[in-house]
Structure 1
Amino acid sequence: MGDGILDEAYERLHRTGPEYEGWLSNHGPMAVEALARHGYPQHVHRWLDDYLTRLDELPRGLRPIDDWRAALGDPKRAGDWLAYFDRQLREHPWRDVLGTWWPRLLPGIAAGATHGVIRVGHAVRALDTNDANPRRLTELGQALGYWAARWQPVPGTDRLFDRATPDRAGTVDARGPDTADLDVAAALAGLPRIDDQTGGIRERLGQLPGVPHWEAAVAALRPARTPAEAERGLTALVHRAGLDYLRFGHAAPVMLVHAVTAPTAVLRTLPALDRALWAPSLAAAWAATAAVTSVYAPTDGITPPTLTAATPAEVFARAARNGDAHVVKLADAVLDAYAATGDERLLAAAGYAGQMI
């Protein structure tokens, strides 16, 4: 991994804001981390030279964050949130800050079309290899600040989070119609769709409360009973979402990437968290993937396309040549899923995205 190059890239990116053109997410920190991670540091600065031209400056703050609940989900306070987390990470160990804020932010996992949690996942992975690096601590702070500023719940998931949150005895409510093993594939197959698949993600998510059986469908995946089961559930969720991209990706090639990359980010963050947070983490990741699927995927999928076979190394090489941030991040995610499952079908997803995006 090109550690020095990644730190140089972070230094360049940390002068820019988490969004540009009003609401588009800054993908730079996520893409450069993936490029460096997979052995393409030579691409990083050249990629940034072009990408930086579209970004906005770092937002200025209005006033310090004092009542965090009132400021949560207020994009006008983005500069305040960035300053808040910068200070927190200067004063406290990063795992302590993450452990405090992860359960507060999880219910708002739809933030920035799930880019808040995705950026945090990349930042945590970078810190795993160098956890005292000030540029990487800054990146985690900016990722958490972005998530807090854009905090947005998935409608109809209150009960899902209530059941997945451990009680004082450390247990979760895993009762319900599904008391057998977690069946992610069946839960995904049972998701309804919104009628009007037009507009941005905020407008689409706003339709979910009126979709018949939405709340029942999102509750169909029961909470994990143990941390180990939560980890297995997340692995299965990324796996199945990657395969579903081959069936549904043609309908929304960019947005359906997030059905894969959001749970991947959560899965990557688990080792840095208290194990009591793993079951709620699965619930949040499931809520994100379910919502993105329901608002962007068609009801009927297509036969997965036939693509030229590629090794994992070739998959990422093609993504790096393509250069689109979503293609790079999807390749990064499906390579993790392939390493965990050995399912070679996953390797086609990044190539398919590269053809469409």
Structure 2
Amino acid sequence: MLTKTALPAPATLAQLHHLLDAGAALAPTYRGRLSNHLPMAQQALLELGASAARLQAWTESYEVHLEPRVAARPGSVTVERDLGRPDSETAWHAHFAARIAEIGAAGTLRKALSLLLPGVGAIAFHGLIRTGHAVLAGHEGELAAGLAHWAAHFLPLPTTADGPPLELADWLPALSKLSRPAYPAGALIHGRMQAWGESPDFAAVAGRLRHGPDALRDLALLAARTYAATGNFTVLHLLTASHAMVVLEPWWPAPQLARGFSVAAAAGLLASGAEPALMLDRPPSRPWPALIAAACEQDDAHVIKLTHAAWRLGRRWPDPAWRRAVERAIPF
């Protein structure tokens, strides 16, 4: 008589919350200005169906790269002085935690997005992305941490309303004609995006993408198709950032503020150096269950987050590009 093999116990929301509570002792950045991906990937693994043992093991293996949070007395923050100041992150964290305690998570998020959406490219979109995962996790402490990461690294990019709006197929060639600014070899994504924002003529082109009801979908698919064709690391962040924008959409204080995302996406595309792809390089060959199972066994937080973002975006906007992008990240 055959005996059934017990399936591994699945990760649970309670386990995730316990891990997020413990992770609050870790710094939001490490090795200078690299974002701590631990809470983002933990939430993604839970939703992708990882086992409790896998979530715990992945956490322990990733934690060794991180640094402890430096104890500091949080001071008060002011927008004029502290927005975009990395050394103010502790103070911003205390500010948003207090706001959540006072008016709740939803009210805090809505007010914070009024302030933060114009600087949505902060620290290579990781403030936005961490906030999106915090919302999905339903964890107030992590929400305060995500918003603080965004505020402390706020990245405003210039834009003007001059010139008629451009369709995506015309906007991309207009971006490609801009002269590349100088930045040091090995510059991080945030620094390259900032350099593009400061370059001549960027402002006159970046904000001219026509913003209809499908603008966010089109930018997300552009990121998926371009990543599928190139495997570009910077473009990967555009896809996960697009997903975070979708997660936060119910709390956008005004749809027009989302225009800041297209400007940041322009800077990200230019910083990537990748050739944008409006068409898919080839159809995907593997089904979602196989891709998701493979993603749960990955050690790379970026691959886990990409799979999670593409899978969720595919449920909202069915398209083969999502699976093809994940296939690029998880080769046979």
Normalization by structure 2: what TM-score? 0.86
Q: SS of 1:120's equivalent?
A: helix
Residues 307 and 2 (structure 1 numbering): CA distance in 2 closer, same or farther, change over 3 Å?
farther
| Residues 235 and 340, structure 1, Cα contact 8 Å, conserved in 2 | no
Structure 1 residues 86-130: Cα deviation after superposition (integer angstroms, max 9, x where no partner): 222122211111111111111221211110001011111222xxx
Select 2:300's aligned residue among 324, 330, 336. 324
Over 3 Å counting, the alpha-carbon distance change for 1:330 and 1:138 in structure 2 is same
Counterpart in the other structure of 1:220: 208
Amino acid at match of 2:329: A
1:142 equivalent to 2:145? Answer: yes
**Which segments of 5 or more consecutive residues in structure 2 lack a partner in the other structure?**
1-10
The number of aligned residues is 317
Aligned residue number for residue 64 of structure 2 = 53
Deviation per residue, 1:231-265 (Å, 9 max, x gap):
x321221112111112233xxx3322111111211
Alpha-carbon spacing, 1:46–1:242, altered in 2? closer, same or farther (3 Å): same
Q: Which residue of 2 aligns with 1:69?
A: 80
2:145 maps to amino acid? Q
Taking only aligned residues, the RMSD between alpha carbons, in angstroms, comes to 2.7
Within the alignment, does 1:38 sit opposite 2:48 as a pair? yes
Structure-2 change in CA distance of 1:310 and 1:300 (3 Å) = closer
- Where does 1:35-184 land on structure 2 (aligned, <5 Å)? 35-42=45-52, 43-127=54-138, 136-154=139-157, 156-157=158-159, 159=160, 177-178=164-165, 183-184=167-168
Q: Which moved more, 1:27-36 or 1:190-199?
A: 190-199
Matched, 1:278 2:255: yes
Q: The residue matched to 1:147 in structure 2 has which SS?
A: helix
Counterpart residue number, 2:171: 187
Deviates more, 1:81-90 or 1:57-66: 57-66
Cross-structure match for 2:192: 204
Closer, same or farther: CA 212–342 of 1 in aligned 2, 3 Å: same
Offset at residue 349 of structure 1 (A): 0.9
2:246 aligned residue: 267
Q: Secondary structure at the match of 2:297?
A: helix
SS of the aligned residue for 1:92 comes to: helix
SS of 1:57's equivalent? coil
1:247 aligned onto 2:229: yes
Moved more, 196-205 or 104-113: 196-205
Q: What CA distance in whole angstroms lies between the structure 2 residues aligned with 1:248 and 1:196?
A: 23
TM-score after normalising by structure 1: 0.80
CA distance in 2, matches of 1:209, 1:14: 33
How far, CA to CA, are the matches of 1:122 and 1:144 in structure 2?
11
- Flag structure 1 segments of 5+ consecutive residues without an equivalent: 128-135, 161-174
- 1:203 Cα offset (Å): 3.5
Q: Deviations over 1:260-299 (max 9, x none)?
A: 111211111112344xx22312x12212221111011234
Q: What's the offset of the Cα at 1:186?
A: 4.0
Quick one: distance in 1 between partners of 2:319 and 2:39? 28
| Contact map agreement 1:335 1:347 (CA 8 A) in 2 | yes
3-state DSSP class of the match of 2:136?
A: helix
Distance, in Å, in 2 between the alignment partners of 1:41 and 1:272 is 31
The answer to whether the Cα contact below 8 Å between 1:106 and 1:284 also exists between their aligned partners in 2 is yes
Work out the CA distance in 2 between the residues paired with 1:209 and 1:238. Answer: 21
